[in-house]
Structure 1
């Protein structure tokens, strides 16, 4: 009887759950900026939440250059989690949302002064959520010509 080879042992360990799916998963996700006339791509480290960005740039006498922007204020590593990027559907938005799928926290990241910056991560509280509190429209007296304003 021949002993099992290394490959067979690795396969058996994987079949028994010895390796998690995260060990085989990609470390980064990439999302384009929603702005339709901007060729910028954002990159996020799925574990640390660190965000960076690159885009194409023209340079005379060449085919062009890749301009990259490293993590600046708020865009560096966060508490370990399960992070991703979500682009809005706003066609003139140059930034993206950084989301933590485990905690529900979100922040907005964008390029500013040649660095990627992100707002502090936050989770809307139930009291301030638009789903929890209906928005009332201010009343307008007839004949004033005024239009309702959002509070």
Structure 2
């Protein structure tokens, strides 16, 4: 029973690499709340490196409960992704700005 609960919890997140071919960033989305963050590899002298993560910033925190997904624009130089609300059709563009993930106001 515990394994089934853990599987259900794991299905709450979606991951998508940004389309930029020179950036190793992956976005993480909570499918139920729309909260989005990102992580990428970083160099650290004398080690194997570090995982640099960016928390949700302006517009990237929890949204109204719904069913959210991530979509890439496939623009080779784009470092952001689209957060889409599959129930309403609203979209936001989300990207890393300074030390956090930010998203534009939702629109259709």
TM-score > 0.5 by shorter chain: yes
> Following the alignment from structure 2 to structure 1, what is the Cα–Cα distance between the partners of residues 90 and 62?
15
> Following the alignment from structure 2 to structure 1, what is the Cα–Cα distance between the partners of residues 73 and 80?
8
Q: What is the Cα-based RMSD across aligned positions, in Å? A: 1.4
Deviation at 1:61, TM superposition (A): 0.6
| Residue in structure 2 matched with residue 107 of structure 1 by the alignment | 92
Which one has the bigger strand percentage?
A: 2
> Could you state the TM-score of these two structures normalised by the residue count of structure 1?
0.65
Does structure 1 residue 60 correspond to structure 2 residue 72?
no
How many residue pairs align between the two structures? 102
Q: Which segments of 5 or more consecutive residues in structure 2 lack a partner in the other structure?
A: 2-6
SS in 2 for 1:24: helix
Does structure 1 residue 24 correspond to structure 2 residue 20?
no
Which ranges of 4 or more aligned residues in structure 1 deviate by more than 4 Å? none
> Following the alignment from structure 2 to structure 1, what is the Cα–Cα distance between the partners of residues 72 and 26?
10
> Could you state the TM-score of these two structures normalised by the residue count of structure 2?
0.91
> Following the alignment from structure 2 to structure 1, what is the Cα–Cα distance between the partners of residues 55 and 8?
26
